[in-house]
Copies of this chain bind each other. A is one copy, B any other.
Amino acid sequence: MSEGAAQHSTAQASGGYDACRRCRASLLCQFATHPVPGITVIKRQRRLRRGEILYSQGDAFEALYSVCSGTVRTSVPTAQGRRQTLGFCIPGELVGIADLSARRHTTDAVALEPTEVAAFAFRSVSDAMDALPLLRRIVLQLLAEQLAHDEELILPLLGKKTALERLSAYLLSLSRRYEARGFSATYFPLAMSRSDISDYLGLAKETVCRLLARLTDDGLITLDARRLRIRDHERLAQLVYGTSPV
């Protein structure tokens, strides 16, 4: 079974930065590694253990983070002391750029598994942007992309969609994102717990559980040890985009 080109460096923060090539921050990285006269981009590597906090709501916004390996969850605390998950960042994605315009982080970010991130000091990035049109365009592009991604996400999740449709949409969305970062689109880790997923999708965790079981029974997916395999992409897509059943 061909698992696609890149490996997932999930279980261990092994130091292999396979995602770097497709990373959205690769240009930043480049400037950090190969300084240009007069321009300094400060990069710092950081390792997080499972459950470790990257930043909390209210913290000063000092750096842009790019996920090298692992998974980061962003969320906001709700009044009732519960938590609303906003999203998950997989390798190659940036964490919390939405806070770019604020002085402080508006969300909590925590690692769901052993995770490595690259931190780019924001002040240096900001200065560099003024000097480098190319860099500027890239950051602009990143922002717009993120925005488009968010809206694409709103689409299947807010739509009249039933729980099954939502969950399917979520799985397909993950698939696309992994693929876009150079990983396999049909076999990837599901680092987040059922609760995380249900919280994110606005469902009960039992419902997520039951529906995953149903998708498995129907032969659309396989699931073991938190790794998901998509067996019938087409039918899954039908569930979401509707060209289909009955």
Given the known inter-chain contacts A141-B101, A158-B200, please indicate yes or no for A150 contacting B151, CB distance below 8 A: yes
The contact of A158 among B97, B100, B141, B202, by CB within 8 Å, is B202
Residue of B nearest to A107 (CB): B151
**Which residues on B sit within 8 Å (CB–CB) of A158?**
84, 157-158, 200-202
For window 83-139 of A, CB contacts with B under 8 Å fall at 84, 86-87, 97-102, 106-107, 130, 133, 136, 139
Q: For the complex, would chain A's binding face be called helix, strand, loop or mixed by DSSP majority?
A: helix
**Which residues on B sit within 8 Å (CB–CB) of A203?**
160
**Which residues on B sit within 8 Å (CB–CB) of A97?**
144, 147
**Which residues on B sit within 8 Å (CB–CB) of A241?**
78-79
Does A161 have its Cβ within 8 Å of any Cβ on chain B?
A: yes
Does A60 have its Cβ within 8 Å of any Cβ on chain B?
A: no
Given the known inter-chain contacts A76-B155, A150-B151, A242-B78, please indicate yes or no for A140 contacting B101, CB distance below 8 A: yes
B154 A150 Cβ-Cβ under 8 A:
yes
Does A2 have its Cβ within 8 Å of any Cβ on chain B?
A: no
Residue of B nearest to A161 (CB): B202
**Which residues on B sit within 8 Å (CB–CB) of A147?**
97-98, 100, 143, 146-147, 150
Does A213 have its Cβ within 8 Å of any Cβ on chain B?
A: no
A98 B144 Cβ-Cβ under 8 A:
yes
